[in-house]
Protein backbone atom coordinates (compact mmCIF):
# COMPACT_ATOMS: atom_id res chain seq x y z
CA UNK A 1 0.00 0.00 0.00
CA UNK A 2 2.77 2.46 1.02
CA UNK A 3 4.63 1.72 -2.24
CA UNK A 4 1.49 2.59 -4.22
CA UNK A 5 1.05 5.82 -2.28
CA UNK A 6 4.72 6.76 -2.74
CA UNK A 7 4.42 6.25 -6.49
CA UNK A 8 1.23 8.32 -6.65
CA UNK A 9 2.83 11.07 -4.55
CA UNK A 10 5.89 11.03 -6.81
CA UNK A 11 3.85 11.47 -9.97
CA UNK A 12 1.67 14.10 -8.33
CA UNK A 13 4.88 15.84 -7.31
CA UNK A 14 6.19 15.75 -10.88
CA UNK A 15 2.87 17.16 -12.07
CA UNK A 16 2.97 19.76 -9.34
CA UNK A 17 6.45 20.92 -10.32
CA UNK A 18 5.45 21.14 -13.99
CA UNK A 19 2.22 22.96 -13.29
CA UNK A 20 3.85 25.16 -10.67
CA UNK A 21 6.48 26.30 -13.17
CA UNK A 22 3.75 27.14 -15.66
CA UNK A 23 1.51 28.60 -12.99
CA UNK A 24 3.89 31.21 -11.63
CA UNK A 25 4.94 32.27 -15.14
CA UNK A 26 1.33 32.70 -16.21
CA UNK A 27 0.04 34.09 -12.92
CA UNK A 28 -2.11 31.02 -12.19
CA UNK A 29 -1.20 30.86 -8.53
CA UNK A 30 -4.59 29.31 -7.63
CA UNK A 31 -3.87 26.26 -9.80
CA UNK A 32 -0.55 25.62 -8.07
CA UNK A 33 -1.90 26.29 -4.58
CA UNK A 34 -4.95 24.01 -4.85
CA UNK A 35 -3.08 21.20 -6.53
CA UNK A 36 -0.58 21.28 -3.65
CA UNK A 37 -3.44 21.11 -1.13
CA UNK A 38 -5.06 18.20 -2.96
CA UNK A 39 -1.80 16.27 -3.22
CA UNK A 40 -1.12 16.71 0.48
CA UNK A 41 -4.66 15.68 1.44
CA UNK A 42 -4.57 12.63 -0.81
CA UNK A 43 -1.24 11.52 0.68
CA UNK A 44 -2.32 11.98 4.30
CA UNK A 45 -5.65 10.19 3.88
CA UNK A 46 -4.11 7.20 2.11
CA UNK A 47 -1.33 6.85 4.69
CA UNK A 48 -3.29 7.39 7.89
CA UNK A 49 -6.91 6.39 7.23
CA UNK A 50 -7.91 3.55 9.58
CA UNK A 51 -8.91 1.08 6.84
CA UNK A 52 -7.34 0.20 3.53
CA UNK A 53 -8.27 2.70 0.80
CA UNK A 54 -8.60 2.32 -2.95
CA UNK A 55 -6.47 5.16 -4.38
CA UNK A 56 -7.49 4.55 -7.99
CA UNK A 57 -11.20 4.70 -7.25
CA UNK A 58 -10.77 7.74 -5.00
CA UNK A 59 -8.95 9.66 -7.72
CA UNK A 60 -11.49 8.72 -10.41
CA UNK A 61 -14.39 9.85 -8.21
CA UNK A 62 -12.56 13.09 -7.42
CA UNK A 63 -11.96 13.74 -11.11
CA UNK A 64 -15.56 12.98 -12.07
CA UNK A 65 -16.87 15.23 -9.29
CA UNK A 66 -14.57 18.07 -10.37
CA UNK A 67 -15.60 17.86 -14.03
CA UNK A 68 -19.30 17.59 -13.17
CA UNK A 69 -19.36 21.32 -12.38
CA UNK A 70 -18.24 22.21 -15.91
CA UNK A 71 -20.36 20.67 -18.69
CA UNK A 72 -21.44 17.10 -19.53
CA UNK A 73 -19.04 16.95 -22.49
CA UNK A 74 -15.84 17.47 -20.47
CA UNK A 75 -15.11 13.95 -19.28
CA UNK A 76 -12.29 11.76 -18.01
CA UNK A 77 -11.62 8.61 -20.06
CA UNK A 78 -9.71 5.96 -18.11
CA UNK A 79 -7.73 3.32 -19.96
CA UNK A 80 -10.53 0.79 -19.44
CA UNK A 81 -12.94 2.95 -21.49
CA UNK A 82 -10.62 3.89 -24.35
CA UNK A 83 -12.09 1.16 -26.59
CA UNK A 84 -15.60 2.63 -26.17
CA UNK A 85 -14.30 6.12 -26.90
CA UNK A 86 -12.56 4.91 -30.04
CA UNK A 87 -15.84 3.43 -31.23
CA UNK A 88 -17.57 6.81 -30.82
CA UNK A 89 -15.05 8.57 -33.04
CA UNK A 90 -14.26 5.89 -35.60
CA UNK A 91 -17.25 3.53 -35.53
CA UNK A 92 -14.70 0.73 -35.09
CA UNK A 93 -13.83 -1.56 -32.22
CA UNK A 94 -12.49 -5.04 -31.58
CA UNK A 95 -15.31 -7.32 -30.51
CA UNK A 96 -18.08 -9.71 -31.46
CA UNK A 97 -20.31 -7.20 -33.28
CA UNK A 98 -23.51 -6.99 -31.29
CA UNK A 99 -25.42 -4.71 -28.95
CA UNK A 100 -26.43 -6.05 -25.55
CA UNK A 101 -28.98 -5.16 -22.87
CA UNK A 102 -29.69 -6.02 -19.26
CA UNK A 103 -32.49 -8.44 -18.41
CA UNK A 104 -32.99 -9.16 -14.70
CA UNK A 105 -29.74 -10.79 -13.43
CA UNK A 106 -28.27 -11.40 -16.86
CA UNK A 107 -27.18 -9.60 -20.02
CA UNK A 108 -28.76 -10.65 -23.30
CA UNK A 109 -27.95 -10.15 -26.97
CA UNK A 110 -30.19 -7.43 -28.41
CA UNK A 111 -28.93 -6.92 -31.98
CA UNK A 112 -26.15 -8.83 -33.78
CA UNK A 113 -24.60 -6.77 -36.59
CA UNK A 114 -24.85 -8.34 -40.02
CA UNK A 115 -21.76 -10.22 -41.14
CA UNK A 116 -19.76 -9.92 -37.91
CA UNK A 117 -18.69 -12.66 -35.44
CA UNK A 118 -21.87 -12.79 -33.35
CA UNK A 119 -24.04 -13.01 -36.46
CA UNK A 120 -21.79 -15.54 -38.20
CA UNK A 121 -21.71 -17.70 -35.05
CA UNK A 122 -25.50 -17.80 -35.03
CA UNK A 123 -26.16 -15.64 -31.97
CA UNK A 124 -29.70 -14.27 -31.93
CA UNK A 125 -31.47 -11.41 -30.20
CA UNK A 126 -32.79 -12.72 -26.88
CA UNK A 127 -29.88 -15.10 -26.22
CA UNK A 128 -28.95 -14.91 -22.52
CA UNK A 129 -25.23 -14.83 -21.67
CA UNK A 130 -24.50 -17.32 -18.89
CA UNK A 131 -20.70 -17.52 -19.04
CA UNK A 132 -17.88 -15.80 -20.95
CA UNK A 133 -14.69 -17.85 -21.22
CA UNK A 134 -15.87 -20.09 -18.42
CA UNK A 135 -16.69 -17.29 -15.97
CA UNK A 136 -20.23 -16.58 -14.82
CA UNK A 137 -21.64 -13.18 -15.76
CA UNK A 138 -24.68 -13.38 -13.50
CA UNK A 139 -25.27 -10.01 -11.85
CA UNK A 140 -22.81 -8.21 -14.13
CA UNK A 141 -23.75 -4.90 -15.74
CA UNK A 142 -23.81 -4.31 -19.49
CA UNK A 143 -20.64 -2.24 -19.09
CA UNK A 144 -18.88 -5.12 -17.29
CA UNK A 145 -19.91 -7.60 -19.97
CA UNK A 146 -19.08 -5.22 -22.81
CA UNK A 147 -15.55 -4.70 -21.49
CA UNK A 148 -14.99 -8.48 -21.58
CA UNK A 149 -16.50 -9.01 -25.03
CA UNK A 150 -14.47 -6.17 -26.55
CA UNK A 151 -10.74 -6.47 -26.99
CA UNK A 152 -7.92 -7.44 -29.29
CA UNK A 153 -9.10 -8.76 -32.68
CA UNK A 154 -8.00 -12.31 -33.43
CA UNK A 155 -8.59 -13.54 -29.88
CA UNK A 156 -11.01 -16.41 -29.39
CA UNK A 157 -14.08 -15.93 -27.18
CA UNK A 158 -16.26 -18.70 -25.75
CA UNK A 159 -19.84 -18.03 -24.73
CA UNK A 160 -22.27 -20.22 -22.86
CA UNK A 161 -25.78 -19.04 -23.69
CA UNK A 162 -29.36 -19.89 -22.91
CA UNK A 163 -31.80 -19.51 -25.80
CA UNK A 164 -35.56 -19.04 -25.34
CA UNK A 165 -37.44 -22.09 -26.60
CA UNK A 166 -34.35 -24.32 -26.45
CA UNK A 167 -33.55 -26.79 -23.70
CA UNK A 168 -30.17 -26.66 -21.99
CA UNK A 169 -27.22 -24.41 -22.68
CA UNK A 170 -25.49 -23.75 -26.00
CA UNK A 171 -21.75 -23.19 -26.51
CA UNK A 172 -20.63 -20.62 -29.07
CA UNK A 173 -16.95 -20.09 -29.86
CA UNK A 174 -15.71 -17.45 -32.28
CA UNK A 175 -12.90 -15.00 -32.88
CA UNK A 176 -13.05 -11.27 -32.23
CA UNK A 177 -12.81 -9.10 -35.31
CA UNK A 178 -12.35 -5.43 -36.06
CA UNK A 179 -15.98 -4.32 -36.10
CA UNK A 180 -16.94 -1.33 -38.23
CA UNK A 181 -20.51 -0.16 -37.78
CA UNK A 182 -21.81 1.48 -40.93
CA UNK A 183 -22.13 5.26 -40.86
CA UNK A 184 -24.92 4.89 -43.40
CA UNK A 185 -27.44 2.24 -42.32
CA UNK A 186 -29.53 2.86 -45.44
CA UNK A 187 -29.56 4.67 -48.77
CA UNK A 188 -32.09 4.37 -51.56
CA UNK A 189 -34.81 5.99 -53.62
CA UNK A 190 -37.89 7.08 -51.65
CA UNK A 191 -39.85 8.52 -54.58
CA UNK A 192 -39.46 9.05 -58.31
CA UNK A 193 -36.20 10.96 -58.69
CA UNK A 194 -35.79 11.52 -54.92
CA UNK A 195 -32.78 9.91 -53.24
CA UNK A 196 -32.38 9.31 -49.53
CA UNK A 197 -29.30 8.89 -47.32
CA UNK A 198 -29.42 8.38 -43.55
CA UNK A 199 -26.25 9.20 -41.63
CA UNK A 200 -25.96 7.55 -38.20
CA UNK A 201 -23.08 9.63 -36.80
CA UNK A 202 -20.07 11.68 -37.88
CA UNK A 203 -17.35 9.07 -37.58
CA UNK A 204 -14.06 9.04 -39.45
CA UNK A 205 -14.44 9.02 -43.24
CA UNK A 206 -18.25 9.25 -43.12
CA UNK A 207 -18.27 12.17 -45.59
CA UNK A 208 -16.65 9.96 -48.22
CA UNK A 209 -19.23 7.28 -47.51
CA UNK A 210 -22.01 9.82 -48.09
CA UNK A 211 -20.29 10.92 -51.30
CA UNK A 212 -20.11 7.33 -52.55
CA UNK A 213 -23.75 6.76 -51.62
CA UNK A 214 -24.89 9.82 -53.61
CA UNK A 215 -22.75 8.79 -56.59
CA UNK A 216 -24.31 5.31 -56.56
CA UNK A 217 -27.81 6.81 -56.44
CA UNK A 218 -26.88 9.06 -59.38
CA UNK A 219 -25.43 6.19 -61.40
CA UNK A 220 -28.53 4.05 -60.97
CA UNK A 221 -31.23 6.74 -61.15
CA UNK A 222 -32.08 10.13 -62.59
CA UNK A 223 -31.63 12.06 -59.35
CA UNK A 224 -33.58 15.32 -59.11
CA UNK A 225 -33.48 15.78 -55.34
CA UNK A 226 -31.82 14.41 -52.21
CA UNK A 227 -32.97 13.90 -48.63
CA UNK A 228 -30.13 13.83 -46.08
CA UNK A 229 -31.51 12.39 -42.85
CA UNK A 230 -29.65 13.58 -39.74
CA UNK A 231 -32.42 12.80 -37.26
CA UNK A 232 -31.13 11.42 -33.95
CA UNK A 233 -27.56 11.86 -35.22
CA UNK A 234 -25.55 12.90 -32.11
CA UNK A 235 -22.66 14.37 -34.11
CA UNK A 236 -19.01 13.45 -33.93
CA UNK A 237 -15.94 14.73 -35.75
CA UNK A 238 -16.03 18.42 -36.70
CA UNK A 239 -13.83 18.01 -39.77
CA UNK A 240 -16.25 15.42 -41.17
CA UNK A 241 -19.11 17.94 -40.94
CA UNK A 242 -17.00 20.37 -42.97
CA UNK A 243 -16.18 17.71 -45.55
CA UNK A 244 -19.84 16.72 -45.79
CA UNK A 245 -20.91 20.32 -46.42
CA UNK A 246 -18.23 20.48 -49.10
CA UNK A 247 -20.22 17.95 -51.14
CA UNK A 248 -22.84 20.64 -51.75
CA UNK A 249 -21.05 24.01 -51.58
CA UNK A 250 -18.14 25.65 -53.38
CA UNK A 251 -14.48 25.40 -52.49
CA UNK A 252 -13.20 28.09 -50.09
CA UNK A 253 -16.54 28.62 -48.32
CA UNK A 254 -16.44 28.94 -44.53
CA UNK A 255 -18.56 26.26 -42.91
CA UNK A 256 -17.87 26.87 -39.25
CA UNK A 257 -15.62 28.97 -37.03
CA UNK A 258 -14.57 28.36 -33.44
CA UNK A 259 -13.63 30.67 -30.58
CA UNK A 260 -12.15 29.66 -27.24
CA UNK A 261 -10.20 31.02 -24.29
CA UNK A 262 -6.94 30.11 -25.98
CA UNK A 263 -6.17 32.02 -29.17
CA UNK A 264 -5.21 28.78 -30.94
CA UNK A 265 -8.90 27.92 -30.99
CA UNK A 266 -9.88 30.96 -33.00
CA UNK A 267 -10.15 29.01 -36.22
CA UNK A 268 -12.07 29.10 -39.46
CA UNK A 269 -12.92 25.84 -41.21
CA UNK A 270 -13.42 26.21 -44.96
CA UNK A 271 -14.17 23.79 -47.76
CA UNK A 272 -11.07 22.61 -49.60
CA UNK A 273 -12.43 20.83 -52.68
CA UNK A 274 -14.78 21.36 -55.57
CA UNK A 275 -18.30 20.21 -54.66
CA UNK A 276 -19.83 16.94 -55.76
CA UNK A 277 -23.03 18.76 -56.78
CA UNK A 278 -23.73 22.39 -55.89
CA UNK A 279 -27.14 22.49 -57.64
CA UNK A 280 -28.90 19.28 -56.59
CA UNK A 281 -32.03 20.27 -54.57
CA UNK A 282 -31.41 19.26 -50.99
CA UNK A 283 -33.54 18.70 -47.89
CA UNK A 284 -31.93 18.06 -44.49
CA UNK A 285 -34.01 16.30 -41.83
CA UNK A 286 -33.38 17.06 -38.13
CA UNK A 287 -35.07 16.46 -34.78
CA UNK A 288 -34.52 17.19 -31.11
CA UNK A 289 -31.75 14.56 -30.96
CA UNK A 290 -29.73 15.98 -33.87
CA UNK A 291 -26.69 17.54 -32.24
CA UNK A 292 -23.21 18.95 -32.71
CA UNK A 293 -21.86 18.09 -36.19
CA UNK A 294 -25.46 17.46 -37.36
CA UNK A 295 -26.24 21.04 -36.40
CA UNK A 296 -23.17 22.34 -38.18
CA UNK A 297 -24.34 20.70 -41.41
CA UNK A 298 -28.02 21.67 -41.09
CA UNK A 299 -27.13 25.18 -39.86
CA UNK A 300 -24.66 25.73 -42.68
CA UNK A 301 -27.05 24.52 -45.37
CA UNK A 302 -29.63 26.89 -43.89
CA UNK A 303 -27.28 29.87 -43.53
CA UNK A 304 -26.06 29.53 -47.10
CA UNK A 305 -29.59 28.85 -48.41
CA UNK A 306 -28.24 25.67 -49.95
CA UNK A 307 -30.97 23.36 -48.66
CA UNK A 308 -34.32 23.30 -46.87
CA UNK A 309 -34.27 22.07 -43.27
CA UNK A 310 -37.34 20.08 -42.18
CA UNK A 311 -38.37 18.45 -38.89
CA UNK A 312 -38.06 19.65 -35.29
CA UNK A 313 -35.70 22.08 -33.57
CA UNK A 314 -32.31 20.45 -33.04
CA UNK A 315 -30.65 19.72 -29.69
CA UNK A 316 -28.53 22.85 -29.38
CA UNK A 317 -24.90 21.74 -28.79
CA UNK A 318 -22.59 24.49 -29.95
CA UNK A 319 -19.52 23.36 -28.01
CA UNK A 320 -16.30 21.85 -29.39
CA UNK A 321 -14.30 19.18 -27.54
CA UNK A 322 -10.72 18.09 -27.91
CA UNK A 323 -9.10 15.01 -26.39
CA UNK A 324 -5.86 15.45 -24.47
CA UNK A 325 -3.66 12.48 -23.63
CA UNK A 326 -2.89 11.85 -19.97
CA UNK A 327 -0.55 9.40 -18.29
CA UNK A 328 -1.19 5.65 -18.12
CA UNK A 329 -3.11 5.58 -21.42
CA UNK A 330 -5.96 7.71 -20.08
CA UNK A 331 -7.38 10.82 -21.73
CA UNK A 332 -9.53 13.83 -20.98
CA UNK A 333 -12.11 15.16 -23.41
CA UNK A 334 -12.37 18.86 -22.70
CA UNK A 335 -14.59 21.60 -24.10
CA UNK A 336 -12.19 24.08 -25.71
CA UNK A 337 -14.39 26.35 -27.83
CA UNK A 338 -17.81 27.32 -29.11
CA UNK A 339 -18.62 27.00 -32.78
CA UNK A 340 -20.38 29.45 -35.07
CA UNK A 341 -22.17 28.79 -38.36
CA UNK A 342 -21.52 30.97 -41.44
CA UNK A 343 -24.09 33.61 -40.41
CA UNK A 344 -22.23 34.07 -37.12
CA UNK A 345 -24.67 32.34 -34.78
CA UNK A 346 -23.84 29.89 -32.00
CA UNK A 347 -26.67 27.42 -31.48
CA UNK A 348 -25.68 26.35 -27.92
CA UNK A 349 -28.93 26.02 -25.95
CA UNK A 350 -27.69 25.59 -22.35
CA UNK A 351 -25.54 28.17 -20.58
CA UNK A 352 -23.17 26.11 -18.41
CA UNK A 353 -21.13 29.19 -17.48
CA UNK A 354 -24.01 30.75 -15.53
CA UNK A 355 -25.78 28.22 -13.34
CA UNK A 356 -28.83 28.81 -11.18
CA UNK A 357 -28.52 28.95 -7.39
CA UNK A 358 -29.46 25.27 -7.11
CA UNK A 359 -26.74 24.31 -9.59
CA UNK A 360 -29.12 23.62 -12.46
CA UNK A 361 -28.46 24.89 -15.96
CA UNK A 362 -30.93 27.11 -17.75
CA UNK A 363 -31.58 27.62 -21.44
CA UNK A 364 -30.71 30.87 -23.13
CA UNK A 365 -33.93 32.96 -22.78
CA UNK A 366 -35.66 34.14 -25.94
CA UNK A 367 -35.07 37.75 -24.89
CA UNK A 368 -31.30 37.22 -25.15
CA UNK A 369 -31.35 35.46 -28.51
CA UNK A 370 -29.87 37.39 -31.40
CA UNK A 371 -31.13 37.51 -34.97
CA UNK A 372 -28.78 36.73 -37.85
CA UNK A 373 -29.31 36.61 -41.59
CA UNK A 374 -28.80 33.85 -44.12
CA UNK A 375 -27.12 34.52 -47.44
CA UNK A 376 -30.49 35.52 -48.94
CA UNK A 377 -31.48 37.64 -45.95
CA UNK A 378 -33.72 35.20 -44.07
CA UNK A 379 -33.78 35.61 -40.28
CA UNK A 380 -32.24 32.87 -38.14
CA UNK A 381 -31.50 32.91 -34.42
CA UNK A 382 -28.78 31.76 -32.05
CA UNK A 383 -28.97 30.26 -28.57
CA UNK A 384 -31.17 27.23 -28.96
CA UNK A 385 -30.54 24.75 -31.74
CA UNK A 386 -31.36 25.00 -35.43
CA UNK A 387 -34.96 25.93 -36.15
CA UNK A 388 -36.23 24.03 -39.20
CA UNK A 389 -37.54 25.96 -42.18
CA UNK A 390 -40.59 23.69 -42.04
CA UNK A 391 -41.65 22.24 -38.69
CA UNK A 392 -43.25 18.80 -38.76
CA UNK A 393 -44.18 17.23 -35.44
CA UNK A 394 -44.89 13.57 -34.91
CA UNK A 395 -47.64 12.85 -32.40
CA UNK A 396 -46.18 12.21 -28.92
CA UNK A 397 -45.93 8.59 -27.84
CA UNK A 398 -48.76 7.33 -25.63
CA UNK A 399 -47.80 6.00 -22.19
CA UNK A 400 -48.68 2.44 -23.20
CA UNK A 401 -45.92 2.47 -25.81
CA UNK A 402 -43.33 3.50 -23.24
CA UNK A 403 -44.46 0.69 -20.95
CA UNK A 404 -44.31 -1.97 -23.68
CA UNK A 405 -40.80 -0.87 -24.64
CA UNK A 406 -39.38 -0.43 -21.12
CA UNK A 407 -40.70 -3.83 -20.02
CA UNK A 408 -39.20 -5.32 -23.21
CA UNK A 409 -42.48 -6.94 -24.23
CA UNK A 410 -42.19 -6.00 -27.91
CA UNK A 411 -38.65 -7.38 -27.82
CA UNK A 412 -39.85 -10.61 -26.17
CA UNK A 413 -42.67 -11.09 -28.66
CA UNK A 414 -40.23 -10.69 -31.54
CA UNK A 415 -37.95 -13.30 -29.95
CA UNK A 416 -40.85 -15.77 -29.79
CA UNK A 417 -41.94 -14.86 -33.33
CA UNK A 418 -38.48 -15.67 -34.73
CA UNK A 419 -38.59 -19.10 -33.07
CA UNK A 420 -41.84 -19.83 -34.89
CA UNK A 421 -41.06 -18.21 -38.26
CA UNK A 422 -37.92 -18.76 -40.32
CA UNK A 423 -38.57 -15.84 -42.67
CA UNK A 424 -40.87 -12.88 -43.24
CA UNK A 425 -41.51 -10.53 -46.13
CA UNK A 426 -39.14 -7.86 -47.43
CA UNK A 427 -38.73 -4.46 -45.73
CA UNK A 428 -41.25 -1.98 -47.09
CA UNK A 429 -43.60 -4.75 -48.22
CA UNK A 430 -44.23 -6.65 -44.99
CA UNK A 431 -47.00 -5.24 -42.78
CA UNK A 432 -48.40 -5.97 -39.34
CA UNK A 433 -51.91 -7.18 -40.21
CA UNK A 434 -54.82 -7.53 -37.79
CA UNK A 435 -54.25 -11.26 -37.36
CA UNK A 436 -50.63 -10.78 -36.30
CA UNK A 437 -51.57 -7.88 -34.04
CA UNK A 438 -54.19 -9.94 -32.25
CA UNK A 439 -51.55 -12.61 -31.73
CA UNK A 440 -49.43 -9.94 -30.04
CA UNK A 441 -52.40 -8.89 -27.88
CA UNK A 442 -52.86 -12.52 -26.88
CA UNK A 443 -49.16 -12.71 -25.99
CA UNK A 444 -49.67 -9.76 -23.64
CA UNK A 445 -52.68 -11.30 -21.88
CA UNK A 446 -50.65 -12.67 -18.96
CA UNK A 447 -47.96 -9.95 -18.97
CA UNK A 448 -47.65 -6.94 -16.69
CA UNK A 449 -47.37 -3.65 -18.53
CA UNK A 450 -49.03 -1.36 -16.02
CA UNK A 451 -48.60 2.36 -16.67
CA UNK A 452 -50.12 5.63 -15.52
CA UNK A 453 -51.52 8.16 -17.97
CA UNK A 454 -51.29 11.93 -17.49
CA UNK A 455 -55.05 12.06 -16.92
CA UNK A 456 -54.78 9.37 -14.23
CA UNK A 457 -52.06 11.30 -12.42
CA UNK A 458 -54.01 14.53 -12.39
CA UNK A 459 -57.24 12.80 -11.35
CA UNK A 460 -55.46 11.02 -8.47
CA UNK A 461 -54.12 14.36 -7.27
CA UNK A 462 -57.60 15.87 -7.51
CA UNK A 463 -59.10 12.97 -5.47
CA UNK A 464 -56.47 13.48 -2.79
CA UNK A 465 -57.22 17.20 -2.70
CA UNK A 466 -60.98 16.66 -2.58
CA UNK A 467 -60.60 14.21 0.31
CA UNK A 468 -59.85 17.09 2.62
CA UNK A 469 -62.02 19.82 1.13
CA UNK A 470 -65.01 18.29 -0.69
CA UNK A 471 -65.57 14.75 0.56
CA UNK A 472 -68.89 14.34 -1.31
CA UNK A 473 -67.24 15.41 -4.55
CA UNK A 474 -64.53 12.79 -3.96
CA UNK A 475 -67.07 9.97 -4.47
CA UNK A 476 -67.94 11.35 -7.91
CA UNK A 477 -64.27 11.55 -8.77
CA UNK A 478 -63.71 7.91 -7.75
CA UNK A 479 -66.54 6.86 -10.09
CA UNK A 480 -64.87 8.87 -12.85
CA UNK A 481 -61.57 7.20 -12.04
CA UNK A 482 -63.09 3.72 -12.52
CA UNK A 483 -64.60 4.82 -15.83
CA UNK A 484 -61.21 6.11 -16.93
CA UNK A 485 -59.65 2.71 -16.17
CA UNK A 486 -62.20 1.02 -18.41
CA UNK A 487 -61.22 3.38 -21.24
CA UNK A 488 -57.55 2.69 -20.56
CA UNK A 489 -58.09 -1.06 -21.03
CA UNK A 490 -58.79 -0.38 -24.69
CA UNK A 491 -55.49 1.49 -25.21
CA UNK A 492 -53.98 -1.64 -26.72
CA UNK A 493 -56.41 -1.28 -29.63
CA UNK A 494 -56.70 2.50 -29.59
CA UNK A 495 -52.97 2.78 -30.29
CA UNK A 496 -52.73 -0.21 -32.61
CA UNK A 497 -51.15 1.82 -35.40
CA UNK A 498 -48.37 3.24 -33.23
CA UNK A 499 -47.68 -0.08 -31.49
CA UNK A 500 -47.60 -1.84 -34.86
CA UNK A 501 -44.85 0.53 -36.03
CA UNK A 502 -42.64 -0.44 -33.08
CA UNK A 503 -43.44 -4.10 -33.57
CA UNK A 504 -42.60 -3.92 -37.27
CA UNK A 505 -39.33 -2.14 -36.52
CA UNK A 506 -38.26 -4.88 -34.10
CA UNK A 507 -39.20 -7.69 -36.50
CA UNK A 508 -37.41 -6.04 -39.41
CA UNK A 509 -34.28 -5.74 -37.27
CA UNK A 510 -34.39 -9.47 -36.48
CA UNK A 511 -34.65 -10.58 -40.11
CA UNK A 512 -33.17 -7.70 -42.12
CA UNK A 513 -30.84 -5.96 -39.67
CA UNK A 514 -30.39 -2.17 -39.43
CA UNK A 515 -31.29 -1.57 -43.06
CA UNK A 516 -34.62 -3.31 -42.59
CA UNK A 517 -35.41 -1.23 -39.51
CA UNK A 518 -34.74 2.03 -41.35
CA UNK A 519 -36.83 1.05 -44.37
CA UNK A 520 -39.70 0.05 -42.09
CA UNK A 521 -39.52 3.39 -40.23
CA UNK A 522 -39.87 5.34 -43.48
CA UNK A 523 -43.19 3.73 -44.46
CA UNK A 524 -45.36 6.16 -42.48
CA UNK A 525 -43.00 9.06 -41.91
CA UNK A 526 -44.69 12.50 -42.11
CA UNK A 527 -41.33 14.30 -42.03
CA UNK A 528 -40.05 12.37 -45.05
CA UNK A 529 -43.39 12.85 -46.81
CA UNK A 530 -43.06 16.62 -46.38
CA UNK A 531 -39.50 16.50 -47.73
CA UNK A 532 -40.67 14.66 -50.85
CA UNK A 533 -43.48 17.20 -51.38
CA UNK A 534 -41.03 20.12 -51.13
CA UNK A 535 -38.50 18.54 -53.51
CA UNK A 536 -41.26 17.87 -56.05
CA UNK A 537 -42.41 21.50 -55.91
CA UNK A 538 -39.56 23.60 -57.31
CA UNK A 539 -41.37 26.92 -56.92
CA UNK A 540 -42.01 26.26 -53.22
CA UNK A 541 -38.47 25.00 -52.68
CA UNK A 542 -37.01 28.15 -54.28
CA UNK A 543 -39.44 30.42 -52.41
CA UNK A 544 -38.41 28.98 -49.03
CA UNK A 545 -34.72 29.52 -49.72
CA UNK A 546 -35.22 33.01 -51.16
CA UNK A 547 -37.28 34.13 -48.19
CA UNK A 548 -40.21 35.15 -50.41
CA UNK A 549 -42.57 32.80 -48.62
CA UNK A 550 -42.83 31.75 -44.99
CA UNK A 551 -43.52 28.05 -44.56
CA UNK A 552 -44.80 26.65 -41.30
Do residues 86 and 93 make contact, with C-beta atoms less than 8 angstroms apart? yes
> Do 339 and 377 belong to one domain?
yes
285 and 192 in a common domain:
yes
Which segments within 230-363 are labelled E, that is strand?
254-259, 267-270, 282-286, 308-311, 319-325, 331-340
Examine residue 280 and state whether it is found in any structural domain, yes or no.
yes
Please indicate, yes or no, if residue 267 is contained in any of the structural domains. Answer: yes
Q: CA 412 to CA 142: how far, in whole Å?
A: 18
Which residues form the catalytic set?
292, 303, 317
Give the orientation angle of helix 29-48 with respect to helix 55-68, to 10 degrees.
150
Residue 532 lies in a domain: no
Structure confidence at residue 264 as a pLDDT band (50, 70, 90): confident
What is the gyration radius of the CA atoms in the chain, in angstroms?
27
- At 551 the pLDDT is 46
Instruction: Please report whether residue 327 resides in a domain.
Output: yes
Residues constituting the chain: 552
Given a cut of 90, is residue 14 above it in pLDDT? no
Domain identity same for 360 and 281? yes
Domain membership flag for residue 529: no
Q: What is the mean pLDDT of residues 454-481?
A: 64
DSSP class of residue 263 equals: G
Among 280-289, 379-388, 525-534, the minimum mean pLDDT is found in: 379-388
Cβ atoms of 53 and 46 closer than 8 Å: yes
**450: Cβ–Cβ under 8 A, 6 or more apart, which residues?**
403
Q: Is the pLDDT of residue 478 over 70?
A: no
Over range 249-267, report the average pLDDT.
93
Q: How far apart are CA 297 and CA 291, in angstroms?
A: 10
Looking at residue 549, what is its pLDDT? 55
Looking at residue 118, which CATH number applies to its domain? 2.30.42.10
Give 423-441 pLDDT, tens digit per residue.
Answer: 999 999 999 999 999 999 9
* DSSP-H helix ranges across 27-91: 29-48, 55-68, 82-90
- Same domain as 253, residue 353: yes
Same domain assignment for residues 256 and 320: yes
Q: How many domains does the chain have?
A: 5
Question: Is 174 within a domain?
Answer: yes
Instruction: Tell me, yes or no, whether 367 and 231 share the same domain.
Output: yes
Domain boundary, last residue among 180, 200, 221:
180
Q: Which residues in 216-325 belong to E strands, given as ranges?
A: 225-229, 254-259, 267-270, 282-286, 308-311, 319-325
155 lies in the same domain as 220: no
Last residue of a domain, one of 488, 505, 533: 488
Residue 315: name the closest of 327, 299, 300 by CA.
299
Domain that holds residue 511: 399-451+495-521
Q: Is residue 39 part of a domain?
A: yes
Q: What confidence tens digit (pLDDT) does each residue in 140-174 have? A: 999 899 888 988 889 999 999 999 989 999 999 98
Residue finishing a domain among 391, 410, 429: 391
* CA atoms within a 13 Å half-sphere pointing along the CA-CB vector of 17: 5
Residue 282: which CATH number? 3.90.226.10
Q: Is residue 85 part of a domain?
A: no
pLDDT of residue 22: 46
| pLDDT greater than 60 at residue 10 | no
276 & 321 share domain:
yes
Per-residue confidence (pLDDT) for residue 468, from 0 to 100: 61
Kindly state whether residues 209 and 332 are assigned to the same domain: yes
What pLDDT is attached to residue 470? 60
The reply to whether 321 and 195 lie within a common domain is: yes
Whether residues 136 and 203 fall in one domain: no
CA distance 49 to 115: 53
> What confidence category does residue 471 fall into, taking pLDDT thresholds of 50, 70 and 90?
low
The alpha carbon dihedral of 209, 211, 212, 213 has a sign of: positive
Cβ-contact 221, 278 below 8 angstroms = no
Closest CA to 209 of 178, 179, 237, 240: 240
Select the more confidently predicted residue: 146 or 14: 146
Summarize pLDDT for 189-235 with one digit per residue, the tens: 999 999 999 999 999 999 999 999 999 999 999 999 999 999 999 99
Q: Are residues 343 and 431 in the same domain?
A: no
| Residue 95: band (very low, low, confident or very high) from pLDDT cuts 50, 70, 90 | confident
Average pLDDT, the chain: 87
pLDDT in tens, 33-79: 888 998 999 999 999 999 999 998 898 899 888 888 888 999 888 87
Q: Is pLDDT at 376 greater than 70 in this prediction?
A: yes
Amino acid sequence: MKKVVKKLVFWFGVGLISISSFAFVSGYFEVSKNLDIFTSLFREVNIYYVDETKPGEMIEKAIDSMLKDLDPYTTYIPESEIEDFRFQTTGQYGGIGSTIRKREDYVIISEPYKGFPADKAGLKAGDKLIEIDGKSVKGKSTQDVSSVLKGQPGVEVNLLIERPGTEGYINKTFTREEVKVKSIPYKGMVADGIGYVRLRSFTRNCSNEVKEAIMELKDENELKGLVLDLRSNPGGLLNESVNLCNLFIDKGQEVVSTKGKIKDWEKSYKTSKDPLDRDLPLVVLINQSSASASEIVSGTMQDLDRGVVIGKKSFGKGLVQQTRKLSYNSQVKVTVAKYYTPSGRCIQALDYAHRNEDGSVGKVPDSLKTAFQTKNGRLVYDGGGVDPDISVDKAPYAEILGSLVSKQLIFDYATQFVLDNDTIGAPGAYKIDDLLYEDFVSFLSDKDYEYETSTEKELAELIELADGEYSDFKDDLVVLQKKLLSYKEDDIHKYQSEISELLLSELMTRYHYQEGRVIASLANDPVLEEAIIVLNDKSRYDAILSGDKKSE
